[in-house]
Homo-oligomer: A and B are copies of this chain.
Amino acid sequence: MAKNVGVLAMEIYFPPTCVQQEALETRDGASKGKYTIGLGQDCMAFCTEVEDVISMSLTAVTSLLEKYTIDPKQIGRFEVGSETVIDKSKSIKTFLMQIFEVYAEGPARPTGGAAAIAMLIGPDAPIVFESKFRGSHMSHAYDFYKPNLASEYPVVDGKLSQTCYLMALDTCYKYFCYKYEKLEGKQFSISDADHIVFHSPYNKLVQKSFARLLFNDFMRNASSVDDIAKGKLSPFSNLTGDESYQSRDLEKVSQQVSKSLYDAKVQPTTLIPKQVGNMYTASLYAAFASLIHNKHSELAGKRVILFSYGSGLTSTMFSLRLHEGQHPFCLSNIATVMNVAGKLKWRHEIETYNSRILNGIEKDSNRGFLMQFPPEKFVQTMKLMEHRYGAKDFVTSKDCGLLSPGTYYLTEVDSMYRRFYSKKDGDYTVCENGSLANGH
């Protein structure tokens, strides 16, 4: 039987187009810090008319197969997760079958998603599922949903959404601890996790969530809570569950006492979610990719706990054990292949270039390189996307100047709503210094 089953390889793709949250604050007339501190977010990636959930998935999966020289025939099972759908009947998976077919046809819908993660699962992996420890919780809730089929946007109850998330976290953690204690004969606490990775709609919720786990440990009288923290949390020990979700004081105090543990265990997981925004299904794994990027040389032997959440709602807390692994399926190579720094730097290069053009320092010699950077351009793009949503019988600009070689992009939606994609010449490659390599 296959042993040490887990993640052998990972690839992440996010669009180069993004908008700074600080600039958005100004544009929206929001108070300074509302998005950057209130939500804890730095930047938000978005798809222009040439990218969507299918093109990003095609790019990520193709790139993973190429960079690890995996023959598609070696893949025994293929699963696709997405927060939302392109078509109410035809699955995203079937679009990706193009990769696995010998002939290349061409054909998705923009969903406002802004990243795709591909993972190869198999035996003898450097990232092993510790599946005996797992806690799940599912419930029927209207926290975030998309009942208006003609609209790109969800119906969201922000307050309910946060409470649902934290209640699900509590419940999953309770079951997770129960399983651990039953099998290991000792109490579990956050001290037993070297890192904790959260589904990350916005960073502030991740901060609150980690603080909430510490509060759980406090209520369970676990060893992770020192005397100082105990003293500060004791005024809240008699709150009912409901009260504890509503208490701003508890939120503040628990974040304060968990700050140093947060910096050590969680902060290294926050880079991509803060820089790219809410990636829905990809969000948890983008946070995990941030950890690999930041800490790959120190992760061997470590335990990482992950909390997965989908509105509506379903949630699971599960555990991974990390090993260095064998090349190419090893932590250092996974970090090299994902090249998170290069991809972020490439966005920055575009941004700098744009600023120089906008400020008249440089002339725009290549229209394609002008990124939709200022918030006004972002808003214009969103308007075009709204107009295009659910539309048929149009061709896109096919403007892929900003895209790296090997990136898939949407070229046309025909009169029968059939979608066609092209791949920019070359393999998907961004150099570590953020410049584009010449593809072959």
Question: Which residues of A pack against B, CB within 8 Å?
Answer: 78, 83-91, 93-98, 100-101, 105, 107, 109, 138-142, 144-150, 154-155, 310-314, 390, 392, 416-418
Q: Is the CB of B140 within 8 A of A95?
A: yes
What's the least CB distance linking A158 to chain B, in Å?
A: 13
Closest to A144 in B: B89
The reply to whether A149 and B312 contact each other, CB–CB distance below 8 Å, is no
Question: When the two chains form their complex, are residues A89 and B311 in contact, meaning their CB atoms are under 8 A apart?
Answer: yes
Task: Collect the chain B residues with CB atoms within 8 Å of residue A142's CB.
Answer: 90, 107, 416, 418
Query: Can you identify 28 A-B contacts, CB atoms within 8 angstroms?
Result: A85-B85, A86-B147, A87-B145, A89-B154, A89-B312, A90-B145, A90-B146, A90-B147, A90-B311, A90-B312, A93-B138, A93-B314, A94-B138, A95-B140, A101-B139, A105-B140, A107-B142, A109-B147, A142-B416, A147-B392, A147-B417, A148-B417, A149-B149, A149-B150, A149-B390, A150-B150, A150-B390, A155-B416
Question: In whole Å, how far is A87's beta carbon from the nearest beta carbon of chain B?
Answer: 5
Q: Name, among A145, A149, A312, the residue most crowded by chain B CB atoms within 10 Å (CB to CB).
A: A149
B312 touches A94 (CB 8 A): yes
- On chain B, the residues within 8 Å of A87 by CB distance are 145-147
- When C-beta atoms are compared, the residue in chain B nearest to A149 turns out to be B149
Q: In the complex where A84-B89, A85-B85, A149-B390 touch, is A97 in contact with B416 (Cβ < 8 A)?
A: no
A408 to chain B, nearest CB (A): 13
With A146-B90, A148-B417, A392-B147 already in contact, the answer to whether A97 and B138 are too (CB < 8 A) is yes
Bound: A82/B20 CA distance, A: 40
Q: Which residues of B contact A139 (CB under 8 A)?
A: 94, 97, 101
Among all A-B residue pairs, the 9 with the closest Cβ atoms: A147-B417, A88-B146, A94-B312, A90-B312, A90-B145, A89-B146, A150-B150, A149-B149, A97-B140
Give, as a whole number of angstroms, the nearest-CB distance from A76 to chain B: 9
How close is A433's CB to chain B, nearest CB, in angstroms?
Answer: 37
In addition to A89-B144, A101-B139, 7 A-B residue pairs with Cβ atoms within 8 Å of each other are A84-B89, A88-B149, A90-B146, A91-B314, A94-B140, A94-B314, A105-B140
Distance A93 CA – B136 CA, assembled complex (angstroms): 14
Inter-chain contacts of A83 with B (CB < 8 A): 89
Find chain B residues with CB under 8 A from A85 CB.
Answer: 85, 88
A90 to B150, CA, bound (A): 15
> What are the residues of chain B within 8 A of A97 when measuring CB–CB?
138-140
Task: Name the residue on B nearest A99 (C-beta).
Answer: B140
Tell me whether A155 and B311 are in contact in the complex, defined as CB-CB below 8 angstroms, given that A89-B144, A101-B139 are known contacts: no
Evaluate contact between B417 and A145: CB separation under 8 angstroms: yes
* C-alpha gap A94/B417 in the complex (Å): 30
Smallest CB separation, A137 vs chain B (Å): 9
Q: How far is the CA of A94 from the CA of B314 in the complex (A)?
A: 7
CB distance from A93 to the nearest CB of B (A): 7
Given contacts A94-B312, A416-B155, is CB(A140)–CB(B101) below 8 Å? yes
Residues of chain B with a CB closer than 8 A to A107's CB: 140, 142
Query: How far, in whole Å, are A83 and B89 apart by their CA atoms in the complex?
Result: 6
Smallest CB separation, A266 vs chain B (Å): 27
Contacts of A312 in B (CB 8 A): 89-91, 94
A29 to B313, CA, bound (A): 47
Assembly CA distance A416 to B146 (angstroms): 11
> In the bound complex, do residue A390 and residue B140 qualify as a contact, i.e. CB atoms below 8 Å apart?
no
Complex formed: what's the CA distance from A85 to B93 in Å? 16
* Chain B contacts for A417, CB-based, 8 A: 145, 147-148, 155
When distances are taken between beta carbons in the complex, the residues of chain B under 8 Å from A86 are: 147
Task: Chain B residues near A390: list those with CB within 8 A.
Answer: 147-150
